[in-house]
Amino acid sequence: MKTVYDFTVKDRQGKEVSLSEYRGKVLLIVNTATGCGFTPHYEPLEAMYKEMKDQGLEILDFPSNQFANQAPGSDEEIHEFCTLKFGTDFPQFRKIDVNGEDADPLFAWLATEKPFEGFGKGLKLAALKKYADMNNKKFGDKAYIKWNFTKFLVDREGKVIARFEPTVDMKEVKDAVAAAL
């Protein structure tokens, strides 16, 4: 059975990184963007990382420009924005595609393990659903991720145990991470 440890990704400099380097850790894997309405999620993510890193949490940040061109910068520009504006210290990887024919295999696998179940309820849903539906039509059955700041929680054995859409309250995400630790 496949686990997250079977995947290799590229860091910001293009160096191959085996996710087996994170064996035994609880992972929160996030696709991000610097110009999104959900970009403020970086703040609670960094706070969670500082609080729980010593307990075995790693947050893995994968910028993607596939949602309304909300991450147009280079890998270095994105990193600089995140560190200066939000003080992020968790690992940030090379910008990737999370949907379509060129989707990173990691995200295709994550989304297959925990498929999209909806954005939930509330005002954010109405606005987001319209844009997500328009954006994802071009990817058809390879529209794995519906919007920026989708988060996947992976246990210490490398299995995906939860998926959180960007509309999920960050307190709920933090509670699930704490339970996994």
Find the catalytic residue in 6, 10, 36, 94: 36
Q: Please tell me the distance from the alpha carbon of residue 173 to that of residue 149, in angstroms, as a whole number.
A: 12
pLDDT in the model for residue 117: 85
Kindly compute the dihedral angle of the four CA atoms of residues 86, 82, 51, 147, in this order, to the nearest 10 degrees.
110
Give the total number of structural domains in the chain: 1
Q: In what order do the strands lie in the sheet with 57-63?
A: 57-63, 26-32, 151-154, 160-164
Domain that holds residue 148: 4-180
pLDDT tens, N- to C-terminus, the chain (181 residues): 899 999 999 999 999 999 999 999 999 999 999 988 888 999 999 999 999 999 999 999 999 999 888 898 899 999 999 999 999 999 999 999 999 999 999 999 999 999 988 887 666 666 777 777 777 777 877 888 999 999 999 999 999 999 999 999 999 999 999 999 9
Look up the CATH number of the domain holding residue 143.
3.40.30.10
Is 82 annotated in the active site?
no
Q: Please tell me the distance from the alpha carbon of residue 137 to that of residue 80, in angstroms, as a whole number.
A: 32
